[in-house]
Structure 1
Amino acid sequence: MDWLWKFPTMDADTLRVLKKNVDEGFRTFTRAYGDSIEGLFSPLQSFLIWAERLLTGTPWPLVILVVAGIAWLGSRNWKIVIGCAATLFLIGWFDMWEDTMKTVSMIFVCTVLSVAIGIPIGIGMSRSNRLQNAVNPVLDVMQTMPSFVYLIPVVMLLGIGRVPGVIAVVIYALPPMIRLTNLGIRMVDKDVLEAADAFGSSSWQKLRNVQLPLALPTIMAGINQTIMMALAMVVIASMIGVQGLGQPVLKAIANQYFTLGVFNGLAIVGIAIIFDRISQAYGLRLQKHREIVHG
């Protein structure tokens, strides 16, 4: 009756050989194609370096002014504008400006990539139930896989540096963008679509002029979630060479520097709040505008 209590497992030698073969196969693939794959991502590296130099090289008053302007355009709320400006000023006051700008540049690049990849996939899923059924399990794996696991294949392929970190962050932060784009387009009122058909709109015109504008509040929620998940990966990505606020936090953990970890952690929280308030306020304004149009 021992078989009732002990779960049947694969033979230990067979399991060892299987794992060894998979690892050797991936190493062989990395040695054969690693350089070619790394070359494909050189434009991404250039984009990341450009964004980082732009933010770190711009005078801090101008950066705060631009962020305040974006906050005003997105929210039309002076409290949010003043809160964003004050948060950035305090980050600079506590000598974390350069690391913060490096982190913001990485989040910007990751968000642009996530939007560029996620919206077309979300549109495709909204138009095809078969594609939705195929992609959903992949998204489930991407969202539930421990974030540390993403670092292993990326580092084996591309080594240590900014680009592997950005790729790992994008993989982790992409699912909300895809899911909410798909959901937003599928939630568009059928009567509106029928009216568009009655006016002879083509499939592309219907998508561009009806579905995407009406789905925009939901898509903005996807962008918001993508940014939050990307910020959550900042500290983990610093383990493979991504510069920014994550590296001081990692240093604080290794050396038990309490204040260093808390200050940089609060800076990450501050950046997250700025992104969250601006994107949420803009999404809320879009939602109200849609209600007025349909009201």
Structure 2
Amino acid sequence: MDWIEFPSLSRENMLTIKKTIDGSFKEFTRAYGDLIDKFFDPLQDFLVLLERLLITSPWPVVLAFFAAVVFLMSRKVSITIGTVVALSLIGVFGLWEDTMRTIAMVTVCTMLAIVLGIPIGIFMARSDRVQRLVNPILDLMQTMPSFVYLIPVVMIFGIGKVPGLIAVVIYAIPPMIRLTNLGIRLVDQDVLEAADAFGSSGSQKLMNVQLPLALPTIMAGINQCIMMSLSMVVVASMIGVKGLGQEVLNAINNQYLTAGVLSGLAIVSIAIIFDRATQAYGKRLQKHSEVVHG
């Protein structure tokens, strides 16, 4: 019975549509690929500089730096000691250089996600229309398989650091935007009315009231952004991003169980360090906010 079959385009029509879209995108990459590539050159230079700095600096200096940053954020000796032990074990097992590459990549991706995500989250919080427009895009970004991001990015930029960085940012930025929007919208209306009563302008109210009170929620967004960036490093290794993800990929291709497990544990260790430090810092901000505005 023909009516049972779902009506669909013919194979010839589908091929024509696919060829038209693919051809148009290829023409776009040929025409503007070099221009787009040059636009991202400063970002690549910064990533290379940070990566080189972490790799070439003496390991005791780098270890002390990370321990100091973690302690300043968490103010907990236990988390700081755990950081030193984890990074020391990573170095002992010969994964120091790959770990520094991965940390550099995650750091730049997180910074880029913060620079792009917070303004978008602010616009969403200040306009319901913008929120209705952006939310479906964020849903698409979060549900789209991560491998799909690689196709257009590689077609434009080829293989290397920049396409991997862009793919990671696309995957990791949605929680940054969502939680910035949520944090600003959750600010108590009584506090906003008090700011209006004192004659605060819109920008003053945003900078001096809304953003400081939303900071703990924004920190949660940064935490999630870091975690999702780390989860994407293995996928990004498929397009030439060096680091722990590439070690995991090599272990899969060559069936090296030990190398794969060690690289995976190194990624987990970095994730735990970042997670504990940012969570502790977020809790400190929340307590400070409750004391000041409670």
TM-score tier, shorter chain, comes to over 0.9
- Quote the Cα distance in structure 2 between the aligned partners of 1:169 and 1:66: 25
- Quote the Cα distance in structure 1 between the aligned partners of 2:263 and 2:117: 30
Match of 2:145 in 1: 146
- Quote the Cα distance in structure 2 between the aligned partners of 1:152 and 1:265: 25
Aligned residue type for 1:92: G
- Quote the Cα distance in structure 2 between the aligned partners of 1:176 and 1:56: 30
Matched, 1:123 2:116: no
State TM-score, norm by structure 1.
0.98
Question: What per-residue deviation string (whole Å, max 9, x for no partner) do you get for residues 193-218 of structure 1?
Answer: 00011111111111111000000000
Aligned residue type for 2:157: L
Matched, 1:175 2:174: yes
- Quote the Cα distance in structure 2 between the aligned partners of 1:7 and 1:174: 38
Name the SS of the counterpart of 1:8 in structure 2.
coil
User: Residue 294 of structure 1: CA displacement?
Assistant: 3.0
Aligned residue type for 1:164: P
Match of 1:94 in 2: 93
- Quote the Cα distance in structure 2 between the aligned partners of 1:2 and 1:14: 20
User: Residue 60 of structure 1: CA displacement?
Assistant: 1.1
User: Residue 74 of structure 1: CA displacement?
Assistant: 1.2
- Quote the Cα distance in structure 1 between the aligned partners of 2:8 and 2:275: 47
Name the SS of the counterpart of 1:233 in structure 2.
helix
- Quote the Cα distance in structure 2 between the aligned partners of 1:294 and 1:205: 17
Name the SS of the counterpart of 2:200 in structure 1.
coil
User: Residue 250 of structure 1: CA displacement?
Assistant: 0.5
Matched, 1:268 2:267: yes
Name the SS of the counterpart of 1:242 in structure 2.
coil
Matched, 1:44 2:37: no
Match of 2:79 in 1: 80
Match of 1:3 in 2: 3
Length, aligned pairs only: 294
- Quote the Cα distance in structure 2 between the aligned partners of 1:164 and 1:100: 20
Match of 1:235 in 2: 234
- Higher mean displacement: 177-186 or 52-61: 52-61
- Quote the Cα distance in structure 2 between the aligned partners of 1:7 and 1:281: 54
Task: Say what the alpha-carbon RMSD is for the aligned residues.
Answer: 0.9
Aligned residue type for 2:10: D
Identity within the alignment, %: 67
Question: What per-residue deviation string (whole Å, max 9, x for no partner) do you get for residues 36-83 of structure 1?
Answer: 111111111111111111111221111111111111111111111111
Aligned residue type for 2:92: W
- Higher mean displacement: 151-160 or 68-77: 68-77
* Structural mapping, 1:24-63, within 5 Å: 24-63=23-62
Match of 2:214 in 1: 215
- Quote the Cα distance in structure 2 between the aligned partners of 1:57 and 1:132: 44
The runs of 5 or more residues in structure 2 that have no matched partner are none
- Quote the Cα distance in structure 1 between the aligned partners of 2:15 and 2:278: 49
Aligned residue type for 1:230: S
- Quote the Cα distance in structure 2 between the aligned partners of 1:136 and 1:152: 23
Aligned residue type for 1:9: S
The runs of 5 or more residues in structure 1 that have no matched partner are none
